[in-house]
A and B are shown apart, each in its own frame.
Chain A
């Protein structure tokens, strides 16, 4: 676990993300802002990590299935010293290892993703390994809500409950938006809590920007004995930047330099 205050860390993540996507002219800033608090809480208070050895065998495994929100992870890895802060400037540049979807070429990143619906099954496989080999470490995976359209997730949801993978903790970033419009108007999956419950999972539905609620949910999930857990983090897409919040355009757009200044002033308050 990282010793910094999670609230301070979430501000730094948001600022790094904004600078990266602006410099790179990249998309998906709203998706990264959406998970900034979840990522900050996980890395500051939940994950067991060894910053001097990213591959330490006893580390908790963290996977980002919504790989397009990778700037949030690159940002935290820079804060933790896995990569340099200067390297963040290379995000999305020719030849950079910081590609625009999460990349396992980056120290501290367990697995690449970009196509959706891939990493909950992979996380289940890791959790199965830990269970079979009596390992203490846990596996955490962040999914998007739109991503749950993919049937592969539901295969893994059935599998994880059937095999009692209590070492698996999924986080759904439920910001209620996907590519064109709301999740409700695209392929409605509400009530999501009931779906996971009926598949046999522990469900913790929290305000995904309340660090206290997130910490409480992760603490409860860590006590699970026979059941995988999901933290449904109710979030706001673009959280922290007034003109990006709940505006689907910011799934794609990148800020102008003026917009960056305004955005930074808001997230760094």
Chain B
């Protein structure tokens, strides 16, 4: 995912001298191609995330599209008020990019686990969530945001995720089906949780539809709710705590738009339990101890 991101950004910068990549002194062995090709559009802001967002807001307010890259909590929680007031409120073309979703950096400890970031970022009303599960969805997410710049959050995992989806172009709140068999039951994931669902759960979901939702925001969720209302039972999957997470978001959308539906489906959320807090180990180990699946 990381390499897909940086290669696409390099391509986009060829024709856009107002596209900037900011990093918070992170991204070693990832961002170098952009840094070398576009040194005037790359700034290592230093270990200073509040300033990274402020500088990004200044650049974006002059018409630039800014991508700001770091790990999980650093460009999100550390500078939450800057994202709220300076980016989202002013509706600026600024994309926060994180790597290490969920417990990808399992051994690095709680500071590096991104398990509450969705809660923060999806609470910002103008911010579009971009949570790809594989390199192809990463491409689709980046293509969309390059063509439709806005406040946005691109939540990446790490590197080497196998491709499990088929579409290279996806719209906000469009379901990306991995399997559609006309079932009344849907397994729905956002982000890399889809990988776990695909690898360990596909067979056990015999007879179920399986889909991801890589691009989402409450702004666009009306038609999605009507699509989801066709199901009787929906399981949601995410590498995030339940509070403020993806499953909670799906619940909320039925509160917002549910009046238009005759029957709301039963929804069961699958998530990381708070047992994960303080747990250290390989991602697979940490998830095996904390996934409520």
Binding site for B on A (CB under 8 A): 104, 110-115, 117-130, 132-133, 139, 151-152, 155-156, 158-159, 163
| Chain A residues, Cβ within 8 Å of B62 | 125-126, 129-130, 133
CB neighbours of B55 from chain A (8 A): 121-122, 124-125, 128, 156, 159
Does A125 contact B85, Cβ atoms closer than 8 Å? no
- A121 and B50 in contact, given A110-B61, A112-B90, A156-B55 (Cβ under 8 angstroms): yes
A132 to B57, CA, bound (A): 15
B61 pairs with A111, CB closer than 8 A: yes
- B50 near A125 with CB under 8 A, answer no
Interface bits B41-53 vs A (CB < 8 Å: 1, else 0): 1010110101101
Contact: B89 with A129, CB < 8 Å? no
6 contacts between A and B (CB under 8 A): A104-B90, A110-B61, A125-B61, A130-B62, A152-B50, A155-B46
Q: Specify which of A112, A126, A152 is in contact with B89 (CB 8 Å cutoff).
A: A112
In angstroms, Cα B225 to Cα A1, docked, is: 54
Apart from A128-B43, A139-B58, 20 more pairs, CB < 8 Å: A112-B90, A118-B85, A118-B86, A120-B54, A121-B54, A121-B58, A122-B57, A123-B58, A124-B58, A125-B60, A128-B55, A129-B59, A133-B17, A133-B62, A152-B51, A152-B82, A155-B46, A159-B46, A159-B55, A163-B43
Considering residues A122, A123, A127, which has the most beta carbons from chain B within 10 angstroms of its beta carbon?
Answer: A122
Any A CB within 8 A of the CB of B95: no
Cβ–Cβ contact B58 & A129, under 8 A: yes
A125 near B45 with CB under 8 A, answer: no
Whether the pair B54, A156 counts as a contact (CB closer than 8 A) is yes
| Set of chain B residues within 8 Å of A155, measured between Cβ atoms | 46, 48, 50-51
**A212 CB to nearest B CB, Å:** 31
Query: Closest Cβ of chain B: how far from A205's Cβ, in Å?
Result: 25
- Contact across chains for B51 and A121 when beta carbons are under 8 A apart: yes
Are B51 and A128 interface neighbours, CB within 8 A?
Answer: no
**Which single residue of chain B is at the shortest CB-CB distance from A135?**
B62
Which 3 A-B residue pairings sit nearest by Cβ, starting from the closest? A125-B58, A121-B54, A155-B51
Which residues of A have CB within 8 Å of B41? 132
With the chains together, A114 CA to B81 CA distance in Å?
A: 11
B 163-181 to A, binary, CB cutoff 8 A, 1 in contact else 0: 0000000000000000000
Is the pair B85, A126 in contact by a Cβ cutoff of 8 Å? no
B residues in contact with A128, CB < 8 Å: 43, 55, 58-59
CB-based nearest B residue for A132: B40
Identify the closest chain A residue to B56 (Cβ): A125
A122 touches B45 (CB 8 A): no
Q: Looking across the interface, which residue of chain B has its beta carbon closest to that of A122?
A: B58
Let me know if B89 and A125 touch, CB within 8 A.
Answer: no
Complex formed: what's the CA distance from A104 to B57 in Å?
14
- Is B58 within 8 A of A158, CB to CB? no
User: Which residue on chain A has the smallest CB distance to residue B48?
Assistant: A155
Give the chain A neighbours of B70 by CB distance below 8 A.
none
Measured in the bound complex, the distance between the Cα atoms of B90 and A117 in whole Å is 17
**For the complex, what is the distance from the CA of A110 to the CA of B86, rounded to whole Å?**
12
Nearest neighbor of B55 in chain A, beta-carbon distance: A125
A126 and B62 alpha carbons, distance in the complex (Å): 7
Known: A114-B85, A155-B50, A158-B46. A126 touches B90 (CB 8 A): no
Whose C-beta in chain B lies nearest to the C-beta of A129?
A: B62
Closest chain A CB from B86 CB (angstroms): 6
A163 cross-chain contacts in B, Cβ below 8 A: 43
Shortest Cβ distance from B22 into A: residue = A125
User: Which residues of A are found within 8 Å of B61, using beta-carbon distances?
Assistant: 110-111, 122, 125-126
Question: How far apart are the CA atoms of A14 and B43 in the complex, in Å?
Answer: 42
Bitwise, B66-79 to A at CB < 8 A (1) or not (0) is: 00000000000000
Contact A159 B48, CB 8 Å, known A115-B81, A125-B58, A127-B58:
yes
The reply to whether B64 and A121 contact each other, CB–CB distance below 8 Å, is no
Residues in chain A near residue B46, CB distance under 8 A: 155, 158-159
Separation of A216 and B82 alpha carbons in the complex (Å) = 34
Could you tell me the distance in whole angstroms from the C-beta of A165 to the nearest C-beta in chain B?
10
Nearest chain B CB to A227 CB, angstrom units: 18
A262 CB, min distance to chain B CBs, angstroms: 37
CB-CB contacts below 8 Å: B1-40 with A: 17-18, 40
Contact partners of B40 in chain A: CB under 8 A: 132
A129 with B45, Cβ < 8 A, contacts A111-B90, A152-B50, A155-B50 known: no
Instruction: Please give me the residue from chain A that is nearest to B84 by CB atom.
Output: A115
Chain A residues in 8 Å Cβ range of B54: 118-122, 124-125, 152, 156
Q: Which of B45, B53, B58, B82 contacts A126 (CB 8 A)?
A: B58
